Chains A and B, each alone.
Chain A
Amino acid sequence: MKGFIRSVALSYTNPHVSVVFRWVVGAIFIYASMDKLLNPSAFAVAVYNYRILPGGLINLVAITLPWLELICGILLIIGLFPRAGALTLSVLLLIFFSALSINIYRGIDISCGCFSVSTGTDRIGLSTLLRDLSILPMSVQILLFDQGLIAIGGRTVSRGANPT
């Protein structure tokens, strides 16, 4: 058992695993941004339905959030500022988790607005919450252990430093 935990821990801290996670998380967020970028009005309605933000901020969030997701996704894949991108996405995932939890607790039946702005599909619930949570460990792994392998921006640690 100890050996198993040790091997999982070693895999989790492996910088090569970070590269795979960067591609996976990057692809997820690029995909998630597409429908919102194409339909900002519909996404504004999805944001409004959560009934969390003050009215004055809804359109600004609907305009900028999809770009934040797209740009962080691209940066992770190409390896430019990967840790900063992962930090931004980790914070976003925690915000999404809070917003979903609040409305599940309120018992409000709304669309997630996570991957599609369509109002009929992807209602919020335990599955959307778990989906959000499943991405977080990958994002945190990049934040903590990425060393900038296969990255256009080079290594994330200075030459000579030994992160391990």
Chain B
Amino acid sequence: MILRDFLSQRPMNVNAKVPPFQQVLIILLFSLGMGLAINGLREASLPLVGGWSSSPMKGDILAVSLEDAVVKLLSDDALFLDARSTADYQRGHIKGAVNLPVLDGSFGQRLQEFSGRVDHQRELIVYCDGTGCTLGPQLASILRGLGFGDVQILLNGWNEWVGAGMPFEVE
């Protein structure tokens, strides 16, 4: 109707012609269509249904043992993610680990950049510090929600890693 009015060069009074609830429907469908289309074209597109968990602390994410984690690091099978603050990360982190500090203000942008850069099928191992640390499970849960298929947790990660004398870096 908009197109027809436009082509015939008549005054466009579509606001009065199209019934109100039809207008709302057009807006909703157009928004849905644009959202889905642009998401499909993005490099880091979100899966329509992510693996968001309602209880990230309840441990529905696989834990990896220290031995397996070391093997995966040495064979470059997995990418390590440090969920602690940037300051903690800079004081020392697992060799090659990427910092995604859950509580920092920059987390959103860093996550967006990470999501666009890393293959969603890549094996990821998340860690933080201490047995009661919740940042690792939180980050693992978020990554699964965004469509990363293979996310594991190294429990008590940093303490265990340093205690066992495994390779780490300082920035």
Contact = CB atoms under 8 A, between A and B. Distances in A.
Given A48-B142, A119-B107, A152-B12, A63 B48 contact: yes
B142 to A, nearest CB: 5
A119 B31 contact: no
Interface residues of B, number: 46
Interface in B1-47: 11-16, 18, 20, 23-24, 26-28, 30-32, 34-36, 38-39, 42, 44, 46-47
B64 interface: no
B108 A60 contact: no
Given A42-B111, A58-B52, A59-B48, A75 B27 contact: yes
A137 interface: no
Nearest to A42: B108
Interface residues of A, number: 51
Given A38-B112, A159-B16, 14 more contacts: A41-B112, A45-B145, A45-B146, A51-B54, A59-B52, A60-B49, A62-B46, A64-B36, A68-B31, A81-B14, A84-B20, A120-B107, A156-B15, A159-B13
User: Which 5 A-B pairs have CB atoms at the shortest separation, nearest pair first?
Assistant: A120-B105, A154-B13, A42-B108, A55-B52, A84-B23
Interface of A: 38-46, 48, 51, 54-56, 58-60, 62-68, 71-72, 75, 79-85, 87-88, 117-121, 148, 151-159
